[in-house]
Chains A and B, each alone.
Chain A
Amino acid sequence: MTAISINSLEYTWPGAAAPTLKVPEFKVARGESVFLRGASGSGKSTLLSLMSGILAAPANSVQVLDTDLSELSVRKRDRFRAKHIGIVFQQFNLIPFLCVGANLRLAARFVPQANQDVEARARSLIESLQLHPDLLAQQADRLSVGQQQRVAIARAFINQPEIILADEPTSALDADARDHFVRLLLSIRDTTGCAVVFASHDDSLADFFETRVALADINLIKPRELSHV
C-alpha cells in the first residue's frame, strides 16, 4: 500500500520553456515519514503542489492513495485534498482575520460529515500541541509565529488525513522552536499513523525522519537549468 506513488512525472509550468520536474519514480508508503531535502527553487513546492492536486499532473504520473489525481475533476481533486491531505506551509498557514477555532472549522467545512465533533477534535489537537485552549478564540494574526505554526499542524490534522505535506514549515522558526515543532508533528503522526512528507533545506532535521530523500536525486532536472519560478 502506498500513500504517494510517482511514475515518470514531467511537469512544465505554463509558459515556461523547460520543465521544472522530471521524476522517474518516487514512493511514500502509508505511515512513512519522509524528509525531502532540497534547496529553495529546486522544485520542491511544485512537487508538493502536484502531489496535493493543486496543480494538475499529467495522466498516470501521480497516484495518491491509489487514486490517479489526473482522473479527478478540479472539484473532486479539491474535495480529495480536503479529506485526505493536510498541508503545512512555511508561513501564512492561517486566515489572519479569523480566530483559531474558525480556521479549524473552515478546514473541516470542505469535507462532508467532518463538521461533527470538530470542536472536540480541535480542542484535543490544540492540547496535544501544548497550546492553551483559550487560543481557540484568538484571532490568528495575534499569535506568535511559533504558535501559528503549531496551529497549522492542528489545521492539517483536523480532517484526520492519511497524508501530511509540509513545505519548509520551520524556516521561520528559531532552532529550539524548530525541533519542538518537528517533535510535535511527528508525535501526532505516531498517534494517527499518517504519512508525512517534510520538505526542507535544513539537513539538521533529517534525523527525525525514517526516510531521507534528496530532491536532486529523484529529479533529473538540475536546479541551475531552471528558469527561476
Chain B
Amino acid sequence: MFEVALSSLWSRRGSVMLTLASLTISMAIVIGVEHVRAQAENSFVRTVSGVDLLVGARTSQVNLLLYSVFRIGNATNNIRWQSYENITARQGISWSIPFSLGDSHRGYRVLGTNTDYFEYFRYGDEQPLRLATGAPFENPLQAVLGSEVATALVYSVGDEIVLSHGIGNTSFVNHENLPFTVSGILAPTGTPVDRTIHVTLQGVEAIHLGWQNGVQVAALSPDADDPRLAALQPTQITAILLGLDTPMAVFGLQRAINNYPSEPLTAILPAVALGELWQIIGTLENLLQVISLLVLTASLLGLSTMLLSSLRERRRELALYRAIGAHPSFIVWLIELEGIAMVATASLLGYFVVVLGFSLTQDWLSESYALVVDIWPSSTGIWIYIAGALLASALLTLIPALIAYSRSLGHSLLSS
C-alpha cells in the first residue's frame, strides 16, 4: 500500500511538490517559533538560579527584577550599607551578594559587587560563573568583563578602561582620573552577565570620590595612588542576592525584610518574579504561535484541496482498485496514507529547514541579540505540534477520502 501511495504521489509530483513546499514552510514556521519560544523561556527563566531572595529598595517585584537582574532601567532608590550588614547578619543566611549599579562603560552596565559573586552566583541549571581568562578582581581598580563586553569592545586581560557616570552610551562625564584594569573575562552564559562589567564595591565608591552634587570637583578627586582608596567603605548598594540555609525560611525572612523598620525594602523570590515577567512578555510569543498554527491550518486545508481535486483525474484509477477486489476502505486508507505521508515528509523537511536556519544564524543571533539557540530543536512542544499536525492531516484527509469512498461504492465497470 505504501508503494501504491508513494507512486501515486510521485505520478502527480507537480501539484504534490507545491503542496509539500507549502506544508514544509508551515511546519518550519511552527517548529521554528516553538523552538525559539522554548529557548527564550528557558534562558529567561534561568537568568538567575539558586537565589532564594532578591532584596532592593521598596518597589514592584517586576521592576526590582528588571533593574537588578536584567539591568534594564534604574533603581528608584538604594539600600543603606547598614541595612545590608544587618540583614546578612541574620541567622539562617548562607551567603549574600551585594549589587551596586548606576555606572556604565560604552553602553555596558557596571556592577559593583564582591568576590562572593564569583563564588555563589548561579544561572541556568545551577551553573556557576566561570572565568575564560584571568582572575577575579583583587583590588578596587580591577574589573572582570562579561564575555560579550570583551568580544564587542575587543578587550583582553590587562587593558585599561574608563567608566562613565550614568548609563548613557555617550556620557560626557567620564571617570577619567581612575582607569580600571581588566583582571579577568568570564565565559559566555547567555544571560545579562555577558553584558556586564564587574568591579568591586570600593571601585564604585572610588570613582565617585570627589563628586559633589553630581559634579566632579577636581581638587577632591583621587588618583590611583590616593591613600583614601584603601580605606573606602561603601555607603549604599542597589540590591542584595540572598541564599538561605533552608528554603523553608524564605517566607519568614521575606516578611521580615518587607517590614524592615529603618528603611522601606522589598524582598522577592526571583523564580516567582521571573515567571510573572515571562507571563507579560510571553504574550507576544503566544501571538506568534497562534499565527504559525493558522499558517499550518491553511496549508493542511491546501493539502485536503489538492487531494480532493485529484479525485476527478483519479476516477478510473479508483474504480480499477474496486474492480480488482479492493474494498472501498482500501481507497480511504490509500488517500489517508498519501495525506499523512506528505505531512510526515513536510515535518521532517521543516525540521531540517529549522536546523539549517539556526545553524546559519546562530552566531549572528548570539552576537546581535545575545540569544543562544540550540541548533537541534528538542522541546516537548515541538513533538506535540508534529503529532498534532499528523493527526490534523489524518482528519482533514478524511474529507477527500470519504468522498472517494462514497463514490467508489457506486462505481460500475464503466470502461468508456
Q: Are B327 and A52 in contact (CB under 8 A)?
A: no
Render B101-114 as a binary contact track against A, CB cut-off 8 A, 1 for contact. 00000000000000
The distance in angstroms between the C-alpha atoms of A168 and B415, with both chains bound, is 8
The distance in angstroms between the C-alpha atoms of A82 and B324, with both chains bound, is 6
Q: Is B413 on the interface with A (CB-CB < 8 A)?
A: yes
Query: What chain A residues lie within 8 Å of B413 (beta carbons)?
Result: 45, 48-49, 52, 54, 87, 89, 165, 167
Q: Distance in Å from the Cβ of B410 to the closest Cβ of chain A?
A: 7
Q: Are B11 and A74 in contact (CB under 8 A)?
A: no
The distance in angstroms between the C-alpha atoms of A92 and B328, with both chains bound, is 19
Query: What chain B residues lie within 8 Å of A165 (beta carbons)?
Result: 413
14 additional contacts, CB 8 Å, given A95-B317, A159-B325, A167-B415? A14-B410, A46-B412, A52-B413, A55-B412, A79-B327, A91-B415, A93-B320, A95-B4, A95-B7, A98-B7, A102-B4, A110-B324, A155-B324, A165-B413
The distance in angstroms between the C-alpha atoms of A111 and B326, with both chains bound, is 9
Q: Distance in Å from the Cβ of B103 to the closest Cβ of chain A?
A: 73
Q: Are B323 and A52 in contact (CB under 8 A)?
A: yes
Chain A count of residues within 8 A CB distance of the other chain: 37
Q: Distance in Å from the Cβ of B356 to the closest Cβ of chain A?
A: 31
Closest 4 CB pairs of A and B: A82-B325, A97-B11, A110-B325, A89-B415
Q: A74-B327, A102-B7 are in contact. Are A96 and B322 (CB under 8 A)?
A: no
Q: Is B3 on the interface with A (CB-CB < 8 A)?
A: yes
Q: Are B324 and A102 in contact (CB under 8 A)?
A: no
Query: What chain A residues lie within 8 Å of B416 (beta carbons)?
Result: 40, 45, 90, 168
In the complex, residue of chain A having the shortest beta-carbon distance to the beta carbon of B325 = A82
Q: Distance in Å from the Cβ of A128 to the closest Cβ of chain B?
A: 20
Q: Is A83 on the interface with B (CB-CB < 8 A)?
A: yes
Interface residues of B in 1-31 (CB under 8 A from A): 3-4, 7-8, 10-11
Q: A74-B409, A95-B317, A106-B4 are in contact. Are A45 and B415 (CB under 8 A)?
A: yes
Q: Are A92 and B322 in contact (CB under 8 A)?
A: no
| Residue among A49, A90, A96, A110 making CB contact with B326, cutoff 8 Å | A110
